[in-house]
Amino acid sequence: MAGLRWLIVAVLAAGMAACSSVPYAQRQQQREAAYLAAAGAPVPHFRFLSLWSWEPLGDSQVVIYTRPNQAWLLDLDGPCQNLQYTNAIGLTSSFGEVSIRFDKVLTGRRYFPCTIQRIRPVDVARLKLEQQAQRQIDSRPRDRASPAAGA
């Protein structure tokens, strides 16, 4: 009886996840588009003292925040294992500097490190404007002459 209960819970959870996957995928694409629009020209390295925050953008890109208003978009070599699912990441650096093709993103002990292939600074102010623009909707009053949609 307990096994049947777990099966029902698993089927319901899978059904709920399937229903919500379309909007989630769309939000992911919008988020990635906003970061790409706010990213600047590639740089060979950046100064790294501490990791303030991070956000994965798929399995081969991650955004690293070194301060609340300073972010870096990192392109990684191939799909990085566990990047989208880990609770914490690590970042290698040499003498307080992260460099392309040398430093790596770490996603856990059991996973291979992901080499950084490209670094782009993110204009955080522009990113906030892009995200705000994505939240805007076009609202228009209904035409009173047309019949109601559901009637």
The pLDDT tens digits for 86-114 are 999 999 999 999 999 999 999 988 999 99
Contact 74, 121 (CB under 8 A): no
- Domain limits of the chain? 27-128
- Name the nearest CA neighbour of 124 among 60, 74, 68: 68
The C-alpha atoms of residue 112 and residue 121 are separated, in whole angstroms, by: 25
pTM for the full model? 0.72
Three-state DSSP state, 146: coil
Report pLDDT digits (tens) over 4-44: 566 565 655 555 555 545 587 787 888 888 889 889 999 99
Contact 134, 34 (CB under 8 A): yes
If phi over 0 gives left and psi between -120 and 50 gives alpha, with beta otherwise, what is residue 140? beta
The C-alpha atoms of residue 62 and residue 88 are separated, in whole angstroms, by: 12
